[in-house]
Structure 1
Amino acid sequence: MTNSENSSGSILQWLGFRGARGGRSVDGKPAFANGAGNVFQQARRHLLDEIAAFLLTYELDVTPNNLLTAHGAFSGSNPALARKIAQHVTAGLAVTQEWLDEITAADETIDKHDGIQHLMARLETTLESFSKNANDTRSATADYTDELEQHVAELDQVQGTGQILSSLADLAKAMLERTRKLETDMRRSEEEAKALRRSLEKARREAEIDHMTGLPNRRAFEAVLEREYRDARASFDPLTVAFCDIDHFKRINDTHGHDAGDRVIRLIAEMLATISDDNCHVARHGGEEFVMLFRGISLSEAHKKLDGLREQMAERRLRNRKTDEPLGQITFSAGIADVFDFSDPRAALKAADEALYTAKQGGRNQVIIAPKGGAQAA
């Protein structure tokens, strides 16, 4: 070779020529070529022959370091080392173990430095990635810190690998039990919530029922009146409201007692309820007073229904169950009004109450229709 810029291939060729005495066949071709099966095998065999020729030519020991040095120079994996060897041989210098150890030591230092730099670069990249992931993980697992600390504290109390594994299994079982208990508690809470809703619904219904008569109370009636008023106005259905009051009720209580008075209230409620349906609502307004709402029938038809009940009641003769004394004739008076003859349902209720007062003042036991404008008329 003529200069130090020759490639590693040149030194391989030179070393191959130099090693022909021990590495080539009699025809000048590489010894492995006679039976080569493919190109890959040929390359492998050629590399092995060149490494062997290098070590044998310069009487170098077959050591791991020498094999690695020769492999780096002849395989092309370390071109810098191959150039150093080529320069040394071209200068006519002997390749000794001492020199080889010297250059490989320097080369190892360079390799180590490059490796450290590469490792540090990778580590820095890894740390940046780890820092970002750690920050994300910390944020994502903030809610679990207390529980993790508790588990770590429990593990610190355990001695031995087997015990740690056993403890981890116990912790997993405990967590599963707690999860199942939580599920059971949630299911129980759900059932309790359903029961509470049912209780609330029942309480709501009970709050709208008059317990003495079983009829809706005043509060429930007001909600019905608002709904029916809205629907009737939209569908152009007639809507009539009426107030009823038991005549001389105080006298009944004073003469025959409150128990008898309560039975009279219940009797009137039963009679009024007989005409109650989806379009006729009856409620106890308070005391001995009742309120009714008729939808889908005219004012005169509603008057006829209510007046018919009044007559039925007046025909009955009741007796005191405790004393067997007669209660005498029990009657009621009523005032009735066309809701749409007034500005709103409350105005109609007021008109029906005024008509009731007129019926009372006019001798009781009658149903008075409230005229438009509030002037009473029979």
Structure 2
Amino acid sequence: MGAARAGIRPGEATIEMADMSEARGLWDRIGELLFANELEPTVSNFDICRRYVLGIDEALVASVDQAIARHGGLTRTAVASLVALHSRAIATDEIIRFAQQARAKADEAATVIGEAQGVTRRFADALEAGATTLATGAGAEVVIADLLAETRLMTERAWTAEDRIRKASEEIHDLRTRLAEASVTANSDPLTGLPNRRALEARLRLAYDAAKEQSRTFSLAICDIDHFKRINDTHGHPIGDQVIKLIASSLSKVGSDSLFVARYGGEEFVVVFDDAEPEEAMSRLDMIRADVAARQVTVRRTGETVGRVTFSSGIAGMRGRRDTSAMLKAADEALYRAKSEGRNRICVA
């Protein structure tokens, strides 16, 4: 059952929980989304569903809706791609900065709690001493007055501590929100909107581990735009950027939920084919290559003719290779062979 049929839509809950019943409602909605789509309640799956239900990440909501529209629900492969693209990994300097700020707020809260514990101990000591004095029957009025003063002081300090802890909690929540916002751009390529190299590395780890655990396989392809330097030199970098976007769009539109496309850098892309041997991956990718090569590319704004744009590719499978680095190396070598054999072709490692 897909998420849409489960009756769950984004934005139906707010970030701030007014009471425990709202928190329980959010928990139930996330659980419904997980189990309606037969997803394991892992930390990453739970986080994706939580952010979707809350509607706090527009890019993620759009990605989930696209997956639901295409497949009728969230498959495990689709969620793995979402985790890779929308994970909370950000740049190292940002991680350090957020961590330092969060640590400072946590230390502040710990200090307040320590102070409150000290006040509580002093109040308990005062109560015990007062009770002992009262038991002797001496100075009752003075003892009671002292205890009332201690009670008033403790109450005031408790209110102050509560206010400081509340403010620290709000600031920590703000840090978490800013961290989530930063992650939107940290894992995507600004030109094409595709997952970037950081997201690709996470996706490859997921694919490799899943294939090993489930005794399956997968393949990957490195695609490189042919004569891209010539395109830049002849037509300029803005046109080169449009060509990159054209290839990115072509690679993204073909295939199914089991195909993941990322910009590897420059004019290179990596395509991940889940549960596919290199021959199957080649067959699917070659349809894209042929479709792209058949077009005459023109610049819509100026009418300038760019001509045919092609790409070459090298494909490597998982079998016989110890890790994803070995797969990438093999695919790169196959790509070099495709280039040397005339370009606009695919070679398998």
Q: CA RMSD in A?
A: 3.3
Change (3 A) 1:183 1:368: same
Check whether the contact 1:276–1:282 (CA below 8 A) recurs between aligned residues. no
Partner of 2:308: 329
Which of 147, 157, 173 is equivalent to 1:194? 173
Residue identity opposite 1:271 in structure 2: S
Residue identity opposite 2:254 in structure 1: I
Residue 362 of structure 1, CA deviation: 1.2
Structure 1 runs not aligned, ≥5 long: 1-140, 149-164, 371-378
Which of 277, 285, 299 is equivalent to 2:278? 299
Residue 289 of structure 1, CA deviation: 0.3
What does 1:78-89 correspond to in 2, within 5 Å? none
Residue 295 of structure 1, CA deviation: 1.2
2:250 pairs with 1:267? no
Residue 201 of structure 1, CA deviation: 3.2
Residue 168 of structure 1, CA deviation: 9.6
Check whether the contact 1:256–1:320 (CA below 8 A) recurs between aligned residues. no
Residue 278 of structure 1, CA deviation: 4.4
Check whether the contact 1:282–1:291 (CA below 8 A) recurs between aligned residues. yes
Residue 300 of structure 1, CA deviation: 1.5
1:365 match: secondary structure = coil
Residue 142 of structure 1, CA deviation: 10
Question: How far apart, CA to CA, are the structure 1 residues paired with 2:179 and 2:335?
Answer: 37
Residue 320 of structure 1, CA deviation: 2.4
Change (3 A) 1:172 1:343: closer
Partner of 1:182: 161
Change (3 A) 1:224 1:142: closer
Check whether the contact 1:240–1:337 (CA below 8 A) recurs between aligned residues. yes
1:282 match: secondary structure = strand
Listed one character per residue, the Cα deviations across residues 14-60 of structure 1 (whole Å, up to 9, x for unaligned) are: xxxxxxxxxxxxxxxxxxxxxxxxxxxxxxxxxxxxxxxxxxxxxxx
Residue 268 of structure 1, CA deviation: 1.1
- Percent same amino acid among aligned pairs? 46
Question: How far apart, CA to CA, are the structure 2 residues paired with 1:266 and 1:340?
Answer: 32
Residue 179 of structure 1, CA deviation: 3.1
Which of 283, 287, 292 is equivalent to 1:313? 292
Check whether the contact 2:119–2:154 (CA below 8 A) recurs between aligned residues. no
Partner of 2:228: 249
Higher relative contact order (CA 8 A, sep 6+): 2
Q: Between Structure 1 and Structure 2, how many residues are aligned?
A: 219
Listed one character per residue, the Cα deviations across residues 78-119 of structure 1 (whole Å, up to 9, x for unaligned) are: xxxxxxxxxxxxxxxxxxxxxxxxxxxxxxxxxxxxxxxxxx
Listed one character per residue, the Cα deviations across residues 221-272 of structure 1 (whole Å, up to 9, x for unaligned) are: 1121122111112212221011000111111111111111111111211111
Partner of 2:342: 363
Check whether the contact 1:210–1:284 (CA below 8 A) recurs between aligned residues. yes
Residue 188 of structure 1, CA deviation: 2.8
Question: How far apart, CA to CA, are the structure 1 residues paired with 2:245 and 2:304?
Answer: 19
Change (3 A) 1:363 1:142: closer
Residue identity opposite 1:327 in structure 2: V
2:217 pairs with 1:211? no
Structure number with bigger Rg: 1
Which of 263, 268, 274 is equivalent to 1:289? 268
Question: How far apart, CA to CA, are the structure 1 residues paired with 2:233 and 2:153?
Answer: 73
2:215 pairs with 1:236? yes
Residue 286 of structure 1, CA deviation: 0.3
Check whether the contact 1:244–1:291 (CA below 8 A) recurs between aligned residues. yes
Check whether the contact 1:238–1:296 (CA below 8 A) recurs between aligned residues. yes
**What TM-score do you get using the length of structure 1 for normalisation?**
0.51
Listed one character per residue, the Cα deviations across residues 179-236 of structure 1 (whole Å, up to 9, x for unaligned) are: 3343233223223222322322332342221111111111221121122111112212
Question: How far apart, CA to CA, are the structure 1 residues paired with 2:229 and 2:149?
Answer: 78
Structure 2 runs not aligned, ≥5 long: 1-115, 124-143
Check whether the contact 2:219–2:274 (CA below 8 A) recurs between aligned residues. yes
Change (3 A) 1:177 1:353: same
2:315 match: secondary structure = strand
Residue identity opposite 2:244 in structure 1: I
2:226 pairs with 1:227? no
Change (3 A) 1:236 1:142: closer
Residue identity opposite 2:159 in structure 1: R
Change (3 A) 1:237 1:361: same
Partner of 1:350: 329
Listed one character per residue, the Cα deviations across residues 305-354 of structure 1 (whole Å, up to 9, x for unaligned) are: 11111111112222224532101111111000112132332112111101
Residue 297 of structure 1, CA deviation: 2.2
Residue identity opposite 1:264 in structure 2: V
Residue identity opposite 1:253 in structure 2: N
Residue identity opposite 1:194 in structure 2: H
Question: How far apart, CA to CA, are the structure 1 residues paired with 2:268 and 2:235?
Answer: 19
Check whether the contact 1:341–1:348 (CA below 8 A) recurs between aligned residues. no
Check whether the contact 1:242–1:292 (CA below 8 A) recurs between aligned residues. yes
**What TM-score do you get using the length of structure 2 for normalisation?**
0.55
